[in-house]
Amino acid sequence: MELTVVIPSYGLNALLRTCLAMLDEAIRQAGIEAFRVVVVDNGSAVPYQPSEFECRQLDVVRLDRRTSFSRACNVGAAWRPASFLLFLNNDVLLHRLALKDMMALAADARVGACGARLVYPDDRIQHCGVRLFGNGDGPHHEFHGWPTTSVSRAVRSFQAVTGAALLVRGDTFRALGGFDEIYPFGFEDTDLCLRIRQRGLGVTCSQAVDSIHFESTTNKLPYRHMPSREIFFRRWEGRYALDGDARR
């Protein structure tokens, strides 16, 4: 088993250093020996220097012009193909046992993608699965904003999970052509999960431990999701099952 971790990143060097340090410990705890970490420098004003980051098996791939999350992820995945791919935001600090649990779930051949339980620094849920609704509503993160202590840790299947910390089978990702680069910002992760399900594979989310997600630290532009939202619903509305109340 080989693992490639892809981290698209723009600036925020100190945060990226912390992200990589936490990732490195999570890889150790998971007992993964064959791995590579690919940081995709997405046009940072000052290019990253590999020597400023303490992380084993690190490659830095430089894009001189800033591009979409989907494009940056695809570049990183193609740089170092592997049997499993972990896509990770630079503002996610993985719990040291998070990757171990994600890999255990993804080892099931029926699972095509596995997300992670993510919380804000105040221990409120940022993500523990995604629910889909009709009439252009959603997708919504289940139990978003709830105290993590009030939300069950039972593992369930979902139609989608966030791309902020997403483990995918490499052969499945490549067969699907990766993230669809038509999406300028957002919804590329939900689109990928739905395409994975179309291949008969499941999507699940690790719930064992909480990893921290600061959420959208790099890009805080208002309404930044709207163009991608329109693309998503033109493509998918009426083509997925409707989930129940996101508060359940």
E strand or H helix at 62, and its extent? strand 58-63
pTM over 0.85: yes
For residue 243, tell me if it sits in a domain. Answer: no
Please count the structural domains in the chain: 1
Q: Are 86 and 5 in contact (CB under 8 A)?
A: yes
pLDDT at 241: 78
For residue 245, tell me if it sits in a domain. Answer: no
Query: What domain range is 122 assigned to?
Result: 3-236
Show the tokens assigned to 158: 């979902």
The domain spanning residue 45 has which CATH number? Answer: 3.90.550.10
* pLDDT average, residue stretch 230-244: 82
Cα 59 to Cα 65: distance, rounded to the nearest angstrom: 18
Cα 51 to Cα 39: distance, rounded to the nearest angstrom: 13
Pairing of strands 130-131, 157-158: unpaired
Residue pLDDT, tens place only, 42-94 = 999 999 999 999 899 999 999 999 999 999 999 999 999 999 999 999 999 99
For residue 49, tell me if it sits in a domain. Answer: yes
Residue pLDDT, tens place only, 148-205 = 999 999 999 999 999 999 999 999 999 999 999 999 989 999 999 999 999 999 999 9
Q: How far, CA to CA in Å, does 42 sit from each of 17, 98, 178, 239? A: 16, 26, 18, 33
For residue 30, tell me if it sits in a domain. Answer: yes
For residue 43, tell me if it sits in a domain. Answer: yes
**221 pLDDT higher than 60:** no
Pairing of strands 157-158, 202-213: antiparallel
**218 pLDDT higher than 60:** no
For residue 37, tell me if it sits in a domain. Answer: yes
pLDDT at 29: 98
Residue 216 pLDDT class (50, 70, 90 cuts): low
For residue 219, tell me if it sits in a domain. Answer: yes
